Amino acid sequence: MRRRNLSRLTIAGVTFALLAGTAPAAVAGADHGRSNGGDRSKGHHRPAYKNIGYFTQWGVYGRDFQVKDLDTSGTAAKLTHINYAFGNVSAEGTCFTGDIPGQADAWADYVRPFDAAGSVDGVADTDTQPLAGNFNQLRELKAKNPGLKVMISLGGWSWSTHFSDSVRTAASRKALVASCIDLYIKGNLPVNGARGGKGAAAGLFDGIDVDWEWPGSAGNEGTVFRPEDKKNFTALIHEFRVQLDAYAKSQAKAKAEKGKGKGHGHHKPKPEPKPKHYDLSAYVPANPAAIDAGFDVKRLMKDFDFVNLQGYDYHVSGEKKTAQQSALYAKNDFSVDRTVRDWIKRGAPKHKLVVGMPTYGQGWTGVSGGGTGMGRPAKAPAPATWADGHEDYKVLKKLAQSGAYKVHRDTKNGHAWLFDGTTLWTYDDPQVLRAKTTYIRDKGLGGAMFWSLDGDTDDGELVTAVDRGLNRR
């Protein structure tokens, strides 16, 4: 089994979601050829804003995008969080992993060995170490970047199938959450040859990102949804918060107990250690209908440390006319500003809203009507490297530099596109991101999120632009 990343959606998924009235967002496991984050250790800078990037499990194959690339590009040093996409939920209502084509990939997660050249720390994996694969590389990346948090993201466009069935009762919610904490937070991985075992990945994950697409609304074909998802999703998130906090307290207590009896004479006993805070977040939609169908915003935001707002795929290449996919502003249309206002209006605190940004473009070909190409009829999704209609920023940058395409900008509304007279790509570049980071600062929002890190340039141009914009560097 090998998987390739197509951005957050497939054409089929887009069509289905558009018909359902939702703004689609993610693909996981697709076989087609995304608190107070950023705490730094003593003496290190503590960013005021979150800068979050999704690392795709399947990107290590055809794309050959490895965890080490985040180190060599300098990207890891500019991120506060890495969201590992994705973990899956079984039909039985538990988090699980294994070597199951289309459902789980333990080989990529923690079994695959890395040689010295491919390893973050420059040391080859051994045949006997219990943790290898992406998980061990992320552990090494954290060691080089004090304060960098890694979160497991559950679900995605393709793996939200069983959420609705799994959260219908208090007992089932409790069981699901317990299984996710056991697998990822406690790190009790299934034994796979020499890999895995109790605590094999302990300490790797600093929180959980719930990417259910979407409670109460139609998502990918085969994904179950029902009206009661809204209240059940709220209860699920509260259960995550309760169990994460309880586990953190139990760990702090165990550490304190271990430290007792080590003092000598009349030395004053050390205070009990403060429990670790595990971040809890979600990827959430832009469409007001999807928000209202599945998200009790005021209650949810009491338990969430932050949410990652859909800031892209406002229009997609399966549509019959070209359009912006990630504009900062847009009259009578989806936009970043409209998404932010819709969440605030429903009770979300500004500082808990993180704006999603694409590292890819949506593209059309057979565009007619002349002009700049925007808002014109198109025949089909544009040919691209991994899937028609979706192309990485690093490729689009080269197109812009080639002279074959002209770069067009709507500076008032904050978006850009490329057009060669026939083919159009709408995308975000550093100039667009500078406008967006200014917006985030001016509005008092929580920061930025990228789907996904493998679409950026080899030197992390987009992540760098956001880091500089948010932190005024």
Angle, CA 445 vertex, CA 155 and CA 415 arms, to 5°: 80
The catalytic residue among 140, 213, 391, 461 is: 213
Say if residues 38 and 50 touch (Cβ distance below 8 Å). Answer: yes
User: How many CB atoms are closer than 10 A to CB 258?
Assistant: 9
**What's the burial of 403, exposed, middle or buried (CB within 10 Å: 0-12/13-18/19+)?**
exposed
**Residue 370 counted as domain residue:** no
Instruction: Calculate the CA 81 to chain-centre distance.
Output: 9
Per the prediction, the chain carries an average pLDDT of 90
* Model confidence pLDDT, tens digit, residues 300-327: 999 999 999 999 999 999 999 999 999 9
d(C-alpha 221, C-alpha 206), whole Å? 31
What residue numbers bound the domain in which 250 lies? 11-256+275-360+429-471
CB 177 within 8 A of CB 243: yes
pLDDT, tens only, 377-408: 999 999 999 999 999 999 999 999 999 999 99
Taking the model in full, what pTM does it have?
0.91
- Give whole-number Cα distances, 431 to 66, 412, 466, in Å: 27, 12, 10
For position 259, what pLDDT does the model report?
A: 76
Domain-located, residue 19: yes
| Higher-confidence position of 342 and 42 | 342
Report if residue 236 sits inside a domain: yes
pLDDT in tens, 438-471: 999 999 999 999 999 999 999 999 999 999 999 9
Q: How many domains does the chain have?
A: 1
Q: Is residue 396 part of a domain?
A: no
Q: The CATH number of the domain where 174 resides is what? A: 3.20.20.80
Whole-number Å distance between alpha carbons of 284 and 230: 13
**Separation of alpha carbons 288 and 75, rounded Å:** 33
Residue 128 domain flag = yes
**CA-to-CA dists, residue 437 to 42, 354, 355, 372, 464, angstroms:** 27, 11, 9, 26, 12
Tell me if 384 is assigned to some domain: no
Write the pLDDT tens digit of every residue in 189-232: 999 999 999 999 999 999 999 999 999 999 999 999 999 999 99
Residue 459 lies in a domain: yes
Q: Residue 454 corresponds to which tokens in the numbers above?
A: 């493998």
Read off the pLDDT band of 299 (50, 70, 90): very high
Residue 203 corresponds to which tokens in the numbers above? 């300490």
Q: What is the pLDDT of residue 472?
A: 86
Whether residue 145 has pLDDT greater than 50: yes
Tokens 């912006």 correspond to what residue? 324
| Domain presence at residue 17 | yes
Q: Residues 12, 218: contact at Cβ < 8 Å?
A: no
The answer to whether the beta carbons of residues 147 and 40 sit under 8 Å apart is yes
pLDDT at 263: 53
Phi, psi of 221 (to 5 degrees): -60, 130
Which pLDDT does position 18 carry in this prediction? 38
Could you tell me the sign of the dihedral formed by the alpha carbons of 312, 318, 320, 322, in that order?
positive
Q: Residue 48: is its pLDDT beyond 90?
A: no
Q: How far apart are CA 434 and CA 439, in angstroms?
A: 9
What tens digit of pLDDT does each residue of 167-196 get? 999 999 999 999 999 999 999 999 999 999
> Strand pairing of 195-197 and 189-192?
antiparallel
Provide the angle, in degrees to the nearest 10, between the axes of the packed helices 229-259 and 170-180. Answer: 50
Measured CA angle at 286 (ends 238, 234), to 5 deg: 15
Q: Is 213 a catalytic residue?
A: yes
The distance from CA 457 to its chain's CA centroid, rounded to whole angstroms, is 18
Task: List, as own/partner pairs, every contact residues 412-417 make where C-beta atoms lie below 8 angstroms and the sequence separation is at least 24, other chains included.
Answer: 412/329, 413/324, 413/327, 413/328, 413/329, 413/330, 413/335, 414/327, 414/328, 414/329, 414/336, 414/439, 415/324, 415/326, 415/327, 415/328, 417/322, 417/324, 417/361, 417/372, 417/373, 417/374
321-378 pLDDT, tens per residue?
A: 999 999 999 999 999 999 999 999 999 999 999 999 999 999 999 999 999 999 999 9
Average pLDDT of the segment spanning 58-75 = 98
Q: What is the Cα Rg of the chain in Å?
A: 22
The residue ranking higher by pLDDT, 34 or 115, is: 115
pLDDT at 267: 60
Q: Which residues of 433-443 are buried (b: 16+ CB within 10 A; e: fewer)?
A: bebbbebbbeb
pLDDT tens digits, residue range 234-274?
999 999 999 999 999 999 999 888 877 555 555 666 677 89
Q: Nearest Cα to 438, choosing from 362, 336, 349?
A: 336
Please give the average per-residue pLDDT across 121-147, as a whole number: 98
